[in-house]
Amino acid sequence: MAFDWIAGTALVVGMGSLYLTYQSTKSAKRAIDTSIELYEKQKQDDREKTRFIDKKKLIAKINIIENEIVNCYMEYMNFFNLCTAIKNRDSFSVTIGNYSNFTGVAIDAEKTDCVSGLIQPPKLDFTNDFINELYLLDEKLAGDIVSLKGYMNRSSHIMNHMVLCKDDLGGHVELKRYVERFYTDIELFKYTMEKVHDSHSITGVSLMKKYQLAHI
């Protein structure tokens, strides 16, 4: 039987076409796989970059929070120490004076164990925008700051009322009764500042230790 050159040629051409199609498909698949790998790598790089930026933002915010709490604590301890002395002493003298925009109070001014200080409303300058962004970076820390501001507002109200009513509270009996009534709230703000600061501090130095070092 004679070889059918036409059929043979068609077969060779067909096989060649199939091979070229296979190679083309293989190349296309390789290109798609490469594109997917590059896309996944880019996504991973973007995630790493976002994590790096968020970490930097969080560290910056923690530094701001730490400084705000330290400054507030240093001033608030004047009020806290006064209230503690009033609560713990059975009898005492009270001396009240005005200094600039603040009220100065001295307990037992004539004695060696006198406790004195300026009463300054506590201040933590954290805006709503600051706290909202903090929620995206560290939800627990943001919640702690919101709670801390609540305790601050409560203590500020107690302090302001004491200043406004200082004439009525001038006697040690009335003043002692007032302080004893609200001492738990006064103390809670102090302890909450310590807890938030010490839980998130970058320096690792406790808030009380910083206060003690500042008053050596």
Per-residue pLDDT at 149: 94
Q: b or e along 90-123 (b: 16 or more beta carbons within 10 Å of the residue's beta carbon)?
A: eebebeeeeeeebbbbbbbeeeeeebbbbbbbbe
Per-residue pLDDT at 12: 44
Average pLDDT of 16-44? Answer: 66
Asked if the structure places residue 153 within a domain, the reply is yes
The answer to whether residue 186 scores a pLDDT higher than 60 is yes
Asked if the structure places residue 44 within a domain, the reply is no
Average pLDDT of 58-87? Answer: 94
Asked if the structure places residue 188 within a domain, the reply is yes
CA Rg value for the chain: 36
Asked if the structure places residue 128 within a domain, the reply is yes
pTM over 0.85: no
Q: Which domain holds residue 209?
A: 70-214
Per-residue pLDDT at 61: 92
Per-residue pLDDT at 103: 82
Asked if the structure places residue 58 within a domain, the reply is no
Q: b or e along 141-163 (b: 16 or more beta carbons within 10 Å of the residue's beta carbon)?
A: bbebbeebeebbebbbebbeebe
Asked if the structure places residue 159 within a domain, the reply is yes
Asked if the structure places residue 133 within a domain, the reply is yes
Phi/psi of residue 99, nearest 5 degrees: -130, 110
Average pLDDT of 74-83? Answer: 94
Question: Lowest mean pLDDT: which of 21-25, 54-58, 78-82?
Answer: 21-25
**Which secondary-structure segment (H or E) carries 184?**
helix 172-200
Average pLDDT of 158-164? Answer: 86
Tally of structural domains, the chain:
1
- 118 forms beta bridges with 104
Count of alpha carbons within 13 Å of 12, Cβ hemisphere only?
A: 6
Asked if the structure places residue 9 within a domain, the reply is no
Q: What is the pLDDT of residues 118-148, one digit of tens each?
A: 888 899 988 889 999 999 999 999 999 999 9
- 105 forms beta bridges with 96, 117
pLDDT band per the 50, 70, 90 thresholds, residue 188: very high
User: Tokens standing for 137?
Assistant: 């970076």
